[in-house]
Structure 1
Amino acid sequence: MSTTDKHSKPPIHPQFSLFRKLPLELRLEVWQHALNNTTVERIINVAVYNRLFVTFHCCWTTGGNFCGKHGFCIKRYHSGLSRDISDCMTDGYFAVTNRFPDPQTSESESGMLNISLACHEARNVVIRRYPKLLRIYRGKWHPGIESRLVRCCPATDILLISAVPDFSSSNPDEDLPSSDFFFQRHQDYLDRIFPRDDSLFMAFRDVVSSFQHVAFYYLGIFGSESTSENTSGDESRSKVDAPTKMVDLHSSTDFHALLFYFGSLKQLIAWPDPQYWPEVRENAVIVSDMNDKSFPGVRRYGPIYNMIGSLRDLMSDYNESVETHNNHFAEDDEHWTVRAKPLERVGCYAASSWLVGHGTEI
């Protein structure tokens, strides 16, 4: 190679100077096509901190007999007494974790940014396509913590929930998701890690209520893990302020309770972490229903077969919790309460090698 060739500059492609003279409809189609290419099957990866309260129903414990105002209930036991429970939410926010520090891929982020900065016309296309703003904190909330706003379209984007901190891990009554005992004893701690800002909570509620496609981190037989969060010296001396335990979400009662509030949910999908399921990394497909007989499950043993069983258990346990919650539902002007919808199916991201001509490629 000659010295001239070695130092030659790459060719400069001439600008299409007549673009502005194209009809508006064509220009918008160009921007829309560029946006589609950079955000196809877009995933937003977050941890969700949700502050739940448990409401106990006491017709058995106080009256000694069944009140007759609701159907069959799942019994929970608290201090030796039978209680039926339902949940309400009083605060919540999105954050990233050390394991997943970026809420979206660099290609998606840079592509949306470049298009929105091209001109006012292109920016309007981005805003119309992604009308809602999702605030994501850098970790567990504290005064002064940084956050960022990510544009989202809850009708098409997939919200991937990588973690739901399990506050009940410090609760001596582990059968309850987030019991009144825990909240009464550790009120100061919980006040420190939630914003307690009505406007921020309303924005969080709006996003959660709108998402139609939700995926969740699945670890399965590979165990659970704890992610370290930065805590102050005072916090580290208390058991409840230890690094938040992140559990496998399919078996998390706090995650099940969180799902109540996704009122627009159409698709729930397990996301096997490619660190442990590397075959999912390439040529992934979406299986919309793990109960579909066309999903082979490979053999009647091994991690894939166990995942199918785990997701079936998730749906069964969740739907039982929905029945209990709805049987004791009461309007609450102070807290966020909803009538939960049962799950009709649970899907998963799968490796194409697991399937026999089924699934939707992504």
Structure 2
Amino acid sequence: MFRRVIAALALLLLAAALLVAGWPQLLGLQTQTGVAQLVSLRALAGGMAAVAVVVLLVIALASRSARRFCASAAVLLLVFVGLSAAVLASRGWGSEHFAAKGEGGVTVLSWNTLGDAPGADRIATLALDNDADIVVLPETSVELAQQIADRMGAEGRTMAVHNITFDQIAKARTTSLLISSSLGRYVPDSEAGSTRVIPSGLWRPADGDGPAIVAGHPVAPVPGEMPAWREGLEWLAARCQEPDLIMAGDLNSTIDHWSHLAGEGELGDCHDGAKATGDAAVGTWPTRIPAEAGAPIDHVLAGSDWRFTGFRVVRDQDHAGSDHRPVIAQLERVS
């Protein structure tokens, strides 16, 4: 009798844990320590649960005394696998289809370079090959950003360099932004402030004609920085209150983390490019595991004045030195 009670309690605890891991938004736990990290890696967690199902079924077949418990646990895990697969399938594994870029279209490249690791030539080539108008580079020094701009300028694409740096302790505490001269001159909006620990910024067209641009990089949700991470997400959502805005960067968060901040879009009133194009299940971090199993934490978002005509996670730069994959999005104005 006692063993049955213990087994029943263990199954109840497993069911509760899987519910939190599979749909933490139901209980408002998506930004809590442990849960925030787990839900970032939905695909990996689902894959590990599938392996556990197989192991439990083998044990159930081999051991009569453990059969009922193992079979019940396997059923719970199988439900979790199904839920994870359904969520990921609804977000999309990557169409990578881009419509022809029209007049007035904007292409955005975002790549956390892990402290300049890929080098100027590689980043400039990627930007040029994809006709990038906006290049957001978290963890990238202003010196490397200028080198990238120089290489792009030599190919006939003039880019203005912008940067926000907290200090020189580490390159993680700097964020660079390149904006094509075709979009006009941009100036920083000092009143917008920044995320804490790692810098983010908002830039506006000097003549008021064009989208506001946010280069975002809130701190990662690691122990000791969880309050700053949550504040960072709130800062991003607060920027997403105007329709003519484009945001990109390493946002250290997935769509799951934004549910309490959603407005007309996934984050405030901004719509996520990967979600809009069916690419939101493709992982951008870390590069040491397949994109299908990674965390989709690098994003391009836009306000309601814009719609996405293409998005892809770049998968052929995994050995370039960064632990993040670049993302590229193409947008056009809503007519």
Establish whether TM, by shorter chain, passes 0.5: no
The structure with more helix, counted as a fraction of residues: 2
* TM-score under structure 1 length normalisation: 0.25
Tell me the TM-score normalised to structure 2 length.
0.26
User: Which structure has the bigger radius of gyration?
Assistant: 1
